[in-house]
Amino acid sequence: MTLVIGCYTAEMDGSGTGLSVVPGGTLAAPSPSFAISDGSIVYAVHEMSEGSVGSYALSPAGELTHLSTQSTGGVWPCHLALHDGYLLAANYGSGSVSVHPVEENGVIGAHTDLVQHQGHGPNPDRQEGPHAHQVVIAPDGTVTVVDLGIDRLVHYRLADGKLHRVGETAVPAGSGPRHYVVHPDGRWFVAAELGSAVLVVRDGSYIGSVPATVSDVHNQPSAIALSADARFVYLANRGADTIAVFRVGDELSYVGEVSCGGEWPRDLVRDGDLLLVANQKSDSVVTFRLGRDGLPVPTGEVAKAGSPTSILSL
């Protein structure tokens, strides 16, 4: 059985209701807009002005029990990664990254490092300063932090609880990178929230992009995922309210897009041949089946949920 954990929040105001397990109940938690899990423990951000991270034991029946909470030292944490016994949190509002030791029982310790990004981008409304949006661990141990505010993917090494900067990848000014996935051939496909595009990075350098949608509405891409065979890229479009599909070849090419089945698709997760989409403004998680042509087809399965912002499939 697949458990889908939806994280509910009223956007960055701390009034969220909690973590909800489908099937199962809901556990009160402050503004948990993103979560990850190692199987038995769920780790969630609390996206508030006084940001924090929390850990929760997950029972086989889908019940959650609070274990610990720690301050990130930053504002509006929005993304997490586990790495070598540490939990790393990207603080969107303050443009920083915190590092927390994690005990074997899932209890989170006080942060051992807090790295502050510097700079700004050309968009005065969204890039007045750094905005760390995603933290990803590569197979070789490199830690990459995607920063929407400074149009950079910043690379680190983690040693003794400290992040050591080892480089960065610049993308076009004003593109506002949000999340990325890594293809088996080594290319990175990056969702550009402000530029409404998928950016392509190879060997640490930006090499091109494709538009996120054929719609002419104001559009802000959010989540991005690969098909199981890595032949297709899936992109959630907020504004167009679609899931766009791109074929991976020598270049990335547009295949088509389908309705997300709701409004404002904040997250999507591929689970085998299924695609789960969290529609934040229409209070639903919609399930699609992925065909050989890559296009998602609605299964008719819709879970009602209050303002879902993240899905975790176990």
Q: Which domains does the chain possess? A: 171-307 (2.130.10.10)
pTM for the model stands at 0.95
Confidence of residue 12 (pLDDT cuts 50, 70, 90): very low
The pLDDT confidence band at residue 266, using thresholds 50, 70 and 90, is very high
Query: What's the pLDDT at 28?
Result: 81
In eight-state DSSP terms, residue 298 is E
**pLDDT of 17 higher than 70:** no
Where does the pLDDT of residue 140 fall: very low under 50, low under 70, confident under 90, or very high at 90 and above? very high
Is a pLDDT exceeding 60 seen at residue 13? no
* pLDDT at residue 2, rounded to an integer: 47
Do the bridges between strand 232-238 and strand 220-226 make them parallel or antiparallel, or are there none, so unpaired?
antiparallel
Residue 1 has what pLDDT? 34
Cα 68 to the center of its chain, rounded Å = 22
| Distance, CA of 297 to CA of 72 (rounded, Å) | 40
Q: Do the bridges between strand 265-271 and strand 284-290 make them parallel or antiparallel, or are there none, so unpaired?
A: unpaired
| Residues 190 and 171 sit within 8 Å (Cβ to Cβ) | yes
Q: Share the mean pLDDT of the chain.
A: 93
The phi-psi region of residue 219 (left if phi > 0; otherwise alpha if psi is between -120 and 50; otherwise beta) is: beta
86 pLDDT more than 60: yes
Residue with the larger pLDDT of the pair 19 and 2: 19
User: How far is the C-alpha of 38 from the C-alpha of 54, rounded, in Å?
Assistant: 14
Q: How far apart are CA 232 and CA 40, in angstroms?
A: 31
